[in-house]
A and B are shown apart, each in its own frame.
Chain A
């Protein structure tokens, strides 16, 4: 099974990125091989709809679990349709969060925000 996390750098010790749609990278962790891959987030500089595009990337990656601090409504709709379960990230690195997930210490993200519609970004 694959777990995906928005991360600020291309290494397993990188902090989880506070933004889901506009994170620079995603870390894709395979629980079977214990290996991590990094995906550039093509949605990072989108004019709009970054969450939707990022969520499409996640669904295409085959991930089944997303660990993130937050997630907007449009992205959540895509993720739900794609069968990806969303867990709330806790302070720390991507690795710390994978460990916590395995120990069943993460909770399901229920607080889906209505989206920033550009107000959270440079506009």
Chain B
């Protein structure tokens, strides 16, 4: 069972929820797909058992074979190629590794080479197998790293996917194989706007979804809650705006491992997810 945890904006509590959900299960996998700023390891502090590089394929040109026909340049939707001064320029970081130029070239002037764009670390933290992707600084897209993380996840276990913020390609890749989505939302108008954005995304992907209202204040308006009620979206739980929880989190502790009341909160959340969204 794969549960993706996502939100339209950063700082709503995706990692807090993901890490604590994983640690509240008997056995689980935590997958950090927020590859531009992976931070689950700060909490889980796993003993690293394996580290692998993630590579993408890029074209390399043999100018002796190239007839400058420009078929590859016209084909490339990402404009990663240019023919200047009779030489083909290849912009590696713009290339999306589709391989089209290599297939299309009538002269077979391209060969495939590979380039490292990041890495994946696997490690053990108590009952949790932590798999974390990290995109190298300056790289444009984390999608290949997320694809690689997904290929490493065991099928039979509970997998918690900590998604990147927003609703762009990296998020779509992170939720693609998920069985359900947990949307974490803040009680602000901005938070509600971003919740609406990711809600549209999960609807588009036909994923069963529920909302977790975080940072809830007693007796205060919660526009995200109103949004859920108006749109008949399942509210899975409310996490209070709690100083102790914030303090534990800010010190890099995993709340469910520190205090039974949080253990209960996240165990119940996991049960609710299994019962309510996965039915």
Contacts and interface: CB of A to CB of B under 8 A. Distances in A.
Is chain B found bound to chain A in the same assembly? Answer: yes
Interface of A: 43, 46-50, 52-53, 55-56, 59, 74, 77-78, 81-83, 117, 123
A49 B87 contact: no
A48 B79 contact: yes
Contacts of A50: 79
Contacts of A82: 84-85
Interface of B: 73, 76-85, 87, 89, 91, 94, 96, 140, 168
B183 to A, nearest CB: 21
A59 B82 CA distance: 10
A117 B89 CA distance: 18
A48 B98 CA distance: 14
B73 A56 contact: yes
Q: Which of B76, B91, B96 has the most CB of A within 10 A?
A: B91
B94 A74 contact: yes
Given A81-B87, A123-B168, A55 B78 contact: no
A104 to B, nearest CB: 27
Contacts of A83: 85
Contacts of A117: 140
18 contacts: A48-B77, A48-B78, A48-B96, A49-B78, A49-B80, A52-B79, A52-B80, A52-B82, A56-B79, A59-B84, A81-B84, A81-B85, A81-B87, A82-B84, A82-B85, A83-B85, A117-B140, A123-B168
A48 B78 CA distance: 5
A59 B70 CA distance: 14
Contacts of A77: 89, 91
Contacts of B78: 46-49
Nearest 9 interchain pairs by C-beta: A49-B79, A53-B79, A81-B84, A48-B78, A52-B79, A49-B94, A56-B82, A82-B84, A49-B78
A45 to B, nearest CB: 11
A75 to B, nearest CB: 10
A78 B94 contact: no
Contact of A47 (B77, B81, B84, B168): B77
B91 A49 contact: yes
A81 B80 CA distance: 15
A56 B84 contact: yes
A103 to B, nearest CB: 30
A43 B82 CA distance: 13
Given A53-B79, A56-B73, A117-B140, A48 B84 contact: no
Contacts of A48: 77-79, 94, 96
